[in-house]
Amino acid sequence: MSVTVVIVGFRAYEELERCLASLARHESGARVMVVDNDADEAAGRRIVAAFPSITYFGRRENPGFGAAVNRAAREAPASHLLLLNPDCEVDGPIVAPLLSVLEAHPEAGIVGGLVRDALGGVQASARRFPNLTTAIAGRTSWLSRVAPGNPLSRWNLTTVPSAGVVRVDWVSGAFQLIRRESFDAAGGFDEGFFLYWEDADLCRRVAAAGWHTLYAPVAAVVHYTARASLHTPVRSLWAFHRGALRYYWKHGSWVARMGTPVVAAGLAGRFLVRVVPWARRARHAQ
């Protein structure tokens, strides 16, 4: 099976150019597809023209991350899919190391690599499936920021580079290799998620289809984090909370679903807490 590197872009053209340049240095023979949502096609094609082996799909609309990956998958029906965010840079080979993990673990449907931030710190790209504890001890929670070593955050955020290849619940869509059979068995990404949580949802459905998800720090990228969302911060923040509610409803038991109004109110409150300070800063900056 071949591997297609899939990059979903959204206005982050400087980051995309650096990402493609890093791929050209370390994965010059890789098959790469760029799906550019809400595209400035002139800018996108100008960048991709420097990398003639890359396939570019510019889209006027922005149907979301998962829909863009599904679009690429239809163009590469025989390929495993290596998802890579445009705000990631490759600092070494990534295709062969991750592919070797899939080949060594035939039960694995998805494998995620090591993700570092710009300062060299390890990002929590491997996690437990979301549950009620995620609200207080998830990656972006207050508790995980002020006391990252607390037991609940350590339980939710399972990235440990020294642990080698380990089985986890889900890995970030910023950098993951998906076995084609497992992708097709799960029906691809749920396009009802616009942005955020679609990766956790896919890993959960892949697990339901009988496959495992692995974390394997055998290949690494540097992730500069949420550069595309800076262009539409309120919409991105809304998508995060709306996606969290969709995931809760979709995968919760019937008992849990009875609490949906309370969960929705909590997510709405969290959204307002996050968006109001941003709106004030934006107004003062004008």
**212-223/108-116 β-pairing:** parallel
Quick one: DSSP state of residue 95?
Answer: H
60 with 117, same domain? yes
Which tens digits make up the pLDDT trace of 22-46?
A: 999 999 989 999 999 999 999 999 9
Per-residue pLDDT, 231: 61
Looking at the DSSP assignment, which residues form a beta bridge with residue 126? 171
Per-residue pLDDT, 275: 80
Which tens digits make up the pLDDT trace of 203-236?
A: 999 999 999 999 999 999 999 976 555 667 888 8
Helices and strands counted in the chain (H then E): 12, 11
Per-residue pLDDT, 178: 98
Residue 247 domain-assigned (yes or no): yes
37 with 82, same domain? yes
Residue 34 domain-assigned (yes or no): yes
Residue where a domain stops, chosen among 226, 243, 273? 226
Both tokens of residue 139?
């990656």
Both tokens of residue 201?
């949802």
178 with 273, same domain? no
Per-residue pLDDT, 282: 54
Cα–Cα–Cα angle for 17, 23, 27, rounded to 5 degrees: 160
Per-residue pLDDT, 137: 73
Per-residue pLDDT, 150: 80
55 with 34, same domain? yes
Domain residue limits at 253: 233-285
Per-residue pLDDT, 138: 76
Per-residue pLDDT, 243: 96
Per-residue pLDDT, 77: 85
Per-residue pLDDT, 167: 93
182 with 212, same domain? yes
212 with 70, same domain? yes
Whole-angstrom distance, CA of residue 149 vs CA of residue 160: 12
221 with 255, same domain? no
Per-residue pLDDT, 52: 81
240 with 211, same domain? no
248 with 216, same domain? no
Residue 23 domain-assigned (yes or no): yes
Regions of the chain where pLDDT drops below 70: 142, 159-163, 226-231, 277-286
Whole-angstrom distance, CA of residue 227 vs CA of residue 87: 6
Per-residue pLDDT, 226: 61
59 with 199, same domain? yes
Q: Which CATH number fits the domain that encloses residue 119?
A: 3.90.550.10
Number of domains within the chain = 2
Per-residue pLDDT, 215: 95
237 with 265, same domain? yes
Cβ proximity of 90 and 27 under 8 Å:
yes
200 with 238, same domain? no
